[in-house]
Structure 1
Amino acid sequence: MRIVVTNCNTTQEMTEEIVRGARAAAGPGTTVLGLTPAWGPESAEGWLDSYLSAAAVIDTLRRYDGPRYDAVVMAGFGEHGREGVRELVDVPVVDITEAAAHLACLLGRRYGVVTTLERSCGQIEDSLELAGVGRNCAAVVGTGLGVLELEDGERTESAFLAAAERARDAGAEVLVLGCAGMTGLQRVVGEKLGVPVVDGVAAAVKLAESLVALGLTTSRTGGYAKPLPKRRAWGAASA
């Protein structure tokens, strides 16, 4: 089985970190291939970045000419493009935001998301609502760190723990890592927090493997049906 993991930004070092986390979660026989968009934001941190990122990721998959793959994992927490990719490709598409929230709902009544900048919180809330898992979210809390600042492990851990306390105070029984760049942090902070911590990359990889093993993929009835061929624009001259 081959899973393609798409980074939502152009930072190759982050793609490599995400792929390491994905490979650690993958089962025997699963190959993980990371894709980095050739254009778009260096780090996706806001509405404009997110829309640009969505177009760049979709463009990357449209132009992909490598080995056949069995599933796509979208490694951008709260980013746009999920629905477009599901319409584009003919394999299961699992978004880390949705995957992490679904698994969190199996572990506790309410979960909290700890993410990067506060400006990303509203976007994440919208993504959770669209995925149908927003009602179980107790809080989305920012650490105040930008995506590219997550390389400082000690600083990230400290900021995460402080934000996690706020999420627990709001009623969260389970915590979710709200950025693909936080992959691996769950092992460090889980015991200190005393609550389950879900990593979206790992969650998405395991769900993708399950869908492939069960022979399931995106429904083509309704919202994700393949679009009809484009009609000639009004007023265009006849051939």
Structure 2
Amino acid sequence: MRIVVTNCNTTREMTEDIVRGARAAAGPDTTVTGLTPAWGPESAEGWLDSYLSAAAVLDALRTYDGPPCDAVVLAGFGEHGREGVRELVDVPVVDITEAAAHLACLLGRRYGVVTTLDRSRGQIEDSLETAGVARNCAAVVGTGLGVLDLAADPARTETAFLAAAGRARDAGAEVLILGCAGMTGLEGTVARKLGLPVVDGVGAAVKLAESLVALGLTTSRAGGYAKPLPKHRAWGRPTAPGRGGTAQGRQS
């Protein structure tokens, strides 16, 4: 079985960390291949980054020319693109946000998500709502750390995570979820120190993807996830001279 795991940003070091976590969770007969978008944000933090990331991931999967895969795991917590990818590819698609929440619901009545910056909370809440698991969420709590800060100082990351996790527990969470793919690996330490089950979305998504493939199940084409209508689609265009940037001026 081969699973393609897509990073939601262009930071290859993060892709490597995600792949290590995915391989640790995968069964012995599963091969994990990491996929880094060729363009997009270096980290996804906010609505603009998230929509840009979604288009970049779709483009990366559209142009993927590696060995055929049996499932796709989307390793961006709360990021957009999940529904579009399910239209695009012909194999099961498992998003780490949705996977973690579904498993958390099997472990306790209410769960809490510990994520990076507070600005990501709205996206995560919307993603959980779309997936139908928001009613069991006690809180989405930020650590105050950016995505690229997580690996810079592991001790600081653990301290910030534990503080945020305590607030989620106080809000009624009986299970905790790592709210960023870059947090993979923290679950064991946090579970021991707080005495609560901790779900890593990458591991959860990999195991659910394996289960879907083993059961011979894939995305339904009846209705919402029907194949895209045949039409011309332009995937990006060159910027005309003097026309770059945004309505507020040119930006890098």
Q: Distance in 2 between matches of 1:31 and 1:122?
A: 34
Cross-structure match for 2:29: 29
- The C-alpha deviation readout for 1:141-180, integer Å capped at 9, x for no partner, is 0000000000021011000000011001100000000000
Cross-structure match for 2:213: 212
Cross-structure match for 2:99: 99
Q: Distance in 2 between matches of 1:188 and 1:12?
A: 25
**Count of matched residue positions in the alignment of Structure 1 and Structure 2:** 231
Q: Distance in 1 between matches of 2:2 and 2:207?
A: 12
**What is the CA distance between 1:230 and its match in structure 2?**
2.5
Cross-structure match for 2:240: none
Q: Distance in 1 between matches of 2:41 and 2:139?
A: 27
Bigger CA drift: 222-231 or 36-45? Answer: 222-231
Cross-structure match for 1:167: 168
- The TM-score normalised by the length of structure 1 is 0.96
2:80 is paired with a residue whose SS is coil
What are the within-5 Å matches in structure 2 for residues 158-197 of structure 1? 158-197=159-198
**What is the CA distance between 1:187 and its match in structure 2?**
1.2
Q: Distance in 1 between matches of 2:133 and 2:40?
A: 28
**What is the CA distance between 1:28 and its match in structure 2?**
1.0
Q: Distance in 2 between matches of 1:29 and 1:220?
A: 28
What are the within-5 Å matches in structure 2 for residues 134-153 of structure 1? 134-151=134-151, 152-153=153-154
**What is the CA distance between 1:226 and its match in structure 2?**
1.1
Q: Distance in 1 between matches of 2:105 and 2:189?
A: 22
**What is the CA distance between 1:229 and its match in structure 2?**
2.0
| Aligned-CA RMSD value | 0.7
Cross-structure match for 2:2: 2
Cross-structure match for 2:43: 43
Q: Distance in 2 between matches of 1:48 and 1:3?
A: 28
Give, as a single letter, the amino acid of the residue that structure 1 aligns with 2:58: I
2:127 is paired with a residue whose SS is helix
1:139 is paired with a residue whose SS is strand
**What is the CA distance between 1:189 and its match in structure 2?**
1.2
Give, as a single letter, the amino acid of the residue that structure 1 aligns with 2:195: G
Give, as a single letter, the amino acid of the residue that structure 2 aligns with 1:126: D
**What is the CA distance between 1:228 and its match in structure 2?**
2.6
1:57 lines up with 2:95 in the alignment: no
Give, as a single letter, the amino acid of the residue that structure 2 aligns with 1:108: G
Gaps of 5+ in 2: 233-252
- The C-alpha deviation readout for 1:10-46, integer Å capped at 9, x for no partner, is 0000000000000000001100000000100000000
Q: Distance in 1 between matches of 2:70 and 2:77?
A: 22
Q: Distance in 1 between matches of 2:227 and 2:162?
A: 44
**Identical aligned residues as a percent:** 87
Q: Distance in 2 between matches of 1:54 and 1:110?
A: 29
Q: Distance in 2 between matches of 1:227 and 1:6?
A: 21
Cross-structure match for 1:120: 120
Gaps of 5+ in 1: 232-239
1:224 lines up with 2:225 in the alignment: yes
Give, as a single letter, the amino acid of the residue that structure 2 aligns with 1:207: L
**What is the CA distance between 1:188 and its match in structure 2?**
1.5
Q: Distance in 2 between matches of 1:42 and 1:145?
A: 15
1:102 is paired with a residue whose SS is helix
